[in-house]
Copies of this chain bind each other. A is one copy, B any other.
């Protein structure tokens, strides 16, 4: 019989983190805590495997599950000395989801399960608190009705039907707060809830606790596939087939009185990474109250409270409990060797831990914690590298407000409120009040700040589309804060001074009104909120490395970053190059540590200044003579470009791609533009128009471009080669080393490469002879159409290096134009047809298989063939890892992604080593 259920409680749990895939994150954490001697309410975990079986068998539970669940309930009963469904001594359960990785708030939960008309009385007697018991009962029926029985608002216009009943009751009783509802009121609410369920859903509310339990377990499994969970997984690349576990755990109550409470905490500061305990709590409350952001929670200790005098921290209110928590913090950090995010409940002065998991953190915090923990001897350098997700580097590089502009804004009174610094960075944009608007406005190119009272999982897409998120309610662990940190979004949360009116689409604050479409600026590092636009400037790291306006020793952020990157350099095997078309880009990349240029697109140079005139002259020429004349004009300009780049790169290899785009890209297309060009060129309009028409292509992506241009018009390649080699000689003459690598694009057959190589070698020899010097150069090719990968053994006979152009290779291998895929690609990803967007991350099964074939065939012919990648995938961490795995020599990415690629390369090397040592 397969083991479907794992017990946790007493001195020892059946599971542990080793079974995380089976138990989910929450279940594994609970088991670990039990094993570490930390107080945890007993319970059991139904494995993720059951979820998969449930879906594969048409929503049926596997055989044997029932027996195992009942057996485990008996164990809890025994341990707690109470009985599930016993009217005199009832045991209550919470039923929660728990996937392999945390998906906060995405799936469903049922609390207080086991209550019915009989047990509620038992609970009242047992706790000697009738109001508490009926409040629990009211909450249970409401939650169960929503989550398990599906009684939800029927349209967008309808409000929550249960809340409507409560509101009506409060009106009737002329009271404002839930707390003012009496026992009789609560009993009446339960009755009304049940009646509504009967009427709308058509079923009686189940009295049998076991029936309640199975309903709740099924509902949790079902919630794995609700819309918001699917959207979340899509955004975070979580496979749909992982499934969720279900944790059934004995209830403890933080809302039984003033000696009760609940809270969440991080073992270190999740925003800055500083090594101090950081958390929030509420007295006399259930855990959902903290997380849902309904009441703004209080700081956990004095350090965090700062100079606020009107609030009391847990450290002050319950010093013993706080000390116990510090001990738990210590045990957990030593055990997990990472910052933990914990949930606890205090029931009648007793501390219970309900969850521990690796804490989400800002990029700043991630870097600091990783570096600190190495210094503290907790982890090794390799561990530190594995702790920092490459994408986090984007956050570290994110802009901040220009200090001068911000100062001005502060002085002119633009600062209107301060909230929690929930997501670092600075953002400015137009105010929108809901997620749909955020998406729509962003889609038309507007920068927006999403302003919400609080956010919910339904808002994820809007949050993603916005520059930043601002909420008036909720703490550092509210939904908005958690999700923003994870997305790397700027976020100010719980800014209570703001009065947000969705209907009027306005924020009222200190007598001022901010309307939809008005500009605001938010600083997620400080929590400040400003009216109007404030100019942003580069991050500290950029100011140290690129602008040189900040000294390295003045920036702790830079210090941590630089140290970690030096560890990455020690570990990685992949070289990191950059895609750069001009000296300025190249110098930024070099500052970030690029080890060469992997792609210099010569056509970008063709658009600059009045060069386009010469380019057009070349295209419009009637014959070879005319083309050569125009090319002669371009030669000195291209040569100048290359001189600039060679100087900056100072001996590092520079891969230069010959002309790639179809010629019509250089010509105007509208009648008006053509007329204008006719005037400047003195070419008759009709002739010009006919030329434009004759160059039109049905599918330009698959047209007359790449080496096909250089083959039909070898004079173009000739001019480019001449510019490259003359520039190389000039620069070398000045004592600077030069390593040009000439790359022929869109090769599909070795004969194409051979023809172009002949041209380049001819020019190279002539130029080197003229200058009387030798240049160390290579000639290679892009591998960017399937045929090139398939015939790589042939192509390697001529090519000294390969560079995978995965943008085009993806387009051709999938038969999918990136420009046109918008119409269906999102649908594909959302519906699980593709696990992810293949233009963002290399499609390993398809494109990747071709790449592997290309590498293997190429090296079969030429053992030391140098192979890289210069598509945009070169800066995407999963793709970098894939490139490492298939044995590429380097990846090339945009300058601002160089450090990200380095980190990803280091992590790939570490993973490989770990994999090997396992064998």
Interface, chain A (partner B; CB < 8 A): 697-704, 708, 711-712, 746, 748-749, 751-752, 755, 784-787, 790-791, 794, 808, 811-817, 819-821, 823-824, 827-828, 831-834, 843, 845-847, 849-850
> Could you tell me if A820 and B703 are in contact, using CB atoms closer than 8 angstroms?
yes
Chain B residues near A833 (CB, 8 Å)? Answer: 711, 749, 751-752, 755
CA distance in complex: A850, B828 (Å): 25
Closest partner residue, chain B, to A663 (CB atom): B823
Chain B residues near A815 (CB, 8 Å)? Answer: 701-702, 746, 748, 784-787, 808, 812
Known: A786-B786, A813-B790, A824-B712. A819 touches B751 (CB 8 A): no
CA distance in complex: A192, B817 (Å): 68
Contact of A702 among B701, B712, B755, B827 (CB under 8 A): B701
> Could you tell me if A814 and B828 are in contact, using CB atoms closer than 8 angstroms?
no
CA distance in complex: A700, B700 (Å): 10
> Could you tell me if B699 and A700 are in contact, using CB atoms closer than 8 angstroms?
yes
Closest partner residue, chain B, to A789 (CB atom): B786
> Could you tell me if B814 and A748 are in contact, using CB atoms closer than 8 angstroms?
yes
Since A699-B701, A791-B846 are in contact, a sample of 6 more A-B pairs with Cβ atoms closer than 8 Å, ordered by chain A residue number, is A701-B817, A703-B823, A704-B823, A786-B814, A786-B846, A787-B815
CA distance in complex: A751, B704 (Å): 33
> Could you tell me if B708 and A749 are in contact, using CB atoms closer than 8 angstroms?
no
For this complex, 17 residue pairs linking A to B, each with C-beta atoms less than 8 Å apart, are: A697-B819, A697-B820, A699-B699, A699-B702, A701-B815, A702-B815, A703-B817, A704-B823, A711-B827, A712-B827, A748-B816, A786-B786, A786-B813, A786-B814, A786-B815, A787-B815, A812-B815
> Could you tell me if A698 and B752 are in contact, using CB atoms closer than 8 angstroms?
no
Chain B residues near A811 (CB, 8 Å)? Answer: 702
CA distance in complex: A812, B828 (Å): 21
Chain B residues near A751 (CB, 8 Å)? Answer: 832-834
Closest partner residue, chain B, to A815 (CB atom): B785
Closest partner residue, chain B, to A755 (CB atom): B833
CA distance in complex: A567, B206 (Å): 79
Report the minimal beta-carbon distance from A861 to chain B, rounded to whole angstroms.
15
CA distance in complex: A827, B787 (Å): 19
Chain B residues near A823 (CB, 8 Å)? Answer: 703-704, 708, 712
> Could you tell me if B814 and A787 are in contact, using CB atoms closer than 8 angstroms?
yes
Contact of A819 among B698, B708, B846 (CB under 8 A): B698
Contact of A786 among B703, B834, B850 (CB under 8 A): B850
Report the minimal beta-carbon distance from A804 to chain B, rounded to whole angstroms.
14
Report the minimal beta-carbon distance from A731 to chain B, rounded to whole angstroms.
34
Chain B residues near A698 (CB, 8 Å)? Answer: 700-701, 817, 819-820
CA distance in complex: A832, B711 (Å): 12
Chain B residues near A814 (CB, 8 Å)? Answer: 748, 785-787
Chain B residues near A755 (CB, 8 Å)? Answer: 831, 833
CA distance in complex: A847, B787 (Å): 7
CA distance in complex: A796, B812 (Å): 22
Report the minimal beta-carbon distance from A132 to chain B, rounded to whole angstroms.
50
CA distance in complex: A845, B795 (Å): 12
Report the minimal beta-carbon distance from A200 to chain B, rounded to whole angstroms.
27
Contact of A699 among B712, B786, B819, B834 (CB under 8 A): B819
> Could you tell me if A790 and B824 are in contact, using CB atoms closer than 8 angstroms?
no
Chain B residues near A834 (CB, 8 Å)? Answer: 749, 751
CA distance in complex: A271, B120 (Å): 106
Chain B residues near A703 (CB, 8 Å)? Answer: 817, 820-821, 823
Chain B residues near A704 (CB, 8 Å)? Answer: 820-821, 823-824
> Could you tell me if B699 and A820 are in contact, using CB atoms closer than 8 angstroms?
yes
CA distance in complex: A828, B746 (Å): 14
Report the minimal beta-carbon distance from A692 to chain B, rounded to whole angstroms.
14
Chain B residues near A791 (CB, 8 Å)? Answer: 845-846, 849
Closest partner residue, chain B, to A748 (CB atom): B814
Chain B residues near A752 (CB, 8 Å)? Answer: 833
CA distance in complex: A790, B850 (Å): 8
Closest partner residue, chain B, to A785 (CB atom): B815
CA distance in complex: A495, B226 (Å): 84
CA distance in complex: A787, B812 (Å): 9
> Could you tell me if A790 and B711 are in contact, using CB atoms closer than 8 angstroms?
no
Report the minimal beta-carbon distance from A805 to chain B, rounded to whole angstroms.
10
Report the minimal beta-carbon distance from A56 to chain B, rounded to whole angstroms.
15
Most-contacted residue by chain B among A794, A808, A815, A827 (CB, 10 A): A815
Closest partner residue, chain B, to A699 (CB atom): B817
Closest partner residue, chain B, to A850 (CB atom): B790
CA distance in complex: A847, B788 (Å): 11
Known: A703-B823, A755-B833, A817-B703. A748 touches B846 (CB 8 A): yes
CA distance in complex: A748, B814 (Å): 6
> Could you tell me if A790 and B699 are in contact, using CB atoms closer than 8 angstroms?
no
Report the minimal beta-carbon distance from A818 to chain B, rounded to whole angstroms.
9
CA distance in complex: A752, B814 (Å): 12
CA distance in complex: A712, B833 (Å): 11
Closest partner residue, chain B, to A846 (CB atom): B787
CA distance in complex: A663, B846 (Å): 27
CA distance in complex: A703, B708 (Å): 23
CA distance in complex: A787, B809 (Å): 11
Chain B residues near A843 (CB, 8 Å)? Answer: 787
Contact of A812 among B812, B820, B827 (CB under 8 A): B812
Closest partner residue, chain B, to A696 (CB atom): B820
Chain B residues near A828 (CB, 8 Å)? Answer: 711
Report the minimal beta-carbon distance from A217 to chain B, rounded to whole angstroms.
28
CA distance in complex: A699, B697 (Å): 9
Known: A786-B812, A790-B849. A702 touches B817 (CB 8 A): yes
Most-contacted residue by chain B among A708, A787, A813 (CB, 10 A): A787
Report the minimal beta-carbon distance from A195 to chain B, rounded to whole angstroms.
36
CA distance in complex: A752, B700 (Å): 26
CA distance in complex: A824, B752 (Å): 12
Chain B residues near A831 (CB, 8 Å)? Answer: 711, 755
CA distance in complex: A228, B680 (Å): 43
Report the minimal beta-carbon distance from A269 to chain B, rounded to whole angstroms.
43
Chain B residues near A832 (CB, 8 Å)? Answer: 751
CA distance in complex: A712, B849 (Å): 27
Closest partner residue, chain B, to A834 (CB atom): B749
Q: 9 smallest A-B Cβ distances: which pairs? A: A785-B815, A702-B817, A699-B817, A703-B820, A787-B846, A698-B819, A786-B786, A704-B823, A697-B820
Closest partner residue, chain B, to A843 (CB atom): B787
CA distance in complex: A828, B701 (Å): 19
Chain B residues near A845 (CB, 8 Å)? Answer: 790-791, 794
> Could you tell me if A824 and B708 are in contact, using CB atoms closer than 8 angstroms?
yes
CA distance in complex: A827, B843 (Å): 34
Most-contacted residue by chain B among A751, A785, A816, A820 (CB, 10 A): A820
CA distance in complex: A702, B833 (Å): 18
Contact of A711 among B697, B700, B784, B824 (CB under 8 A): B824
Report the minimal beta-carbon distance from A472 to chain B, rounded to whole angstroms.
37
> Could you tell me if B785 and A813 are in contact, using CB atoms closer than 8 angstroms?
yes
Report the minimal beta-carbon distance from A642 to chain B, rounded to whole angstroms.
27
CA distance in complex: A786, B828 (Å): 19
CA distance in complex: A712, B824 (Å): 7
Chain B residues near A708 (CB, 8 Å)? Answer: 823-824
CA distance in complex: A917, B813 (Å): 39
CA distance in complex: A787, B794 (Å): 21
CA distance in complex: A699, B701 (Å): 7
> Could you tell me if A813 and B816 are in contact, using CB atoms closer than 8 angstroms?
no
Report the minimal beta-carbon distance from A334 to chain B, rounded to whole angstroms.
45
Chain B residues near A785 (CB, 8 Å)? Answer: 813-815
Report the minimal beta-carbon distance from A384 to chain B, rounded to whole angstroms.
38
Closest partner residue, chain B, to A751 (CB atom): B833
CA distance in complex: A816, B747 (Å): 11
CA distance in complex: A828, B786 (Å): 19
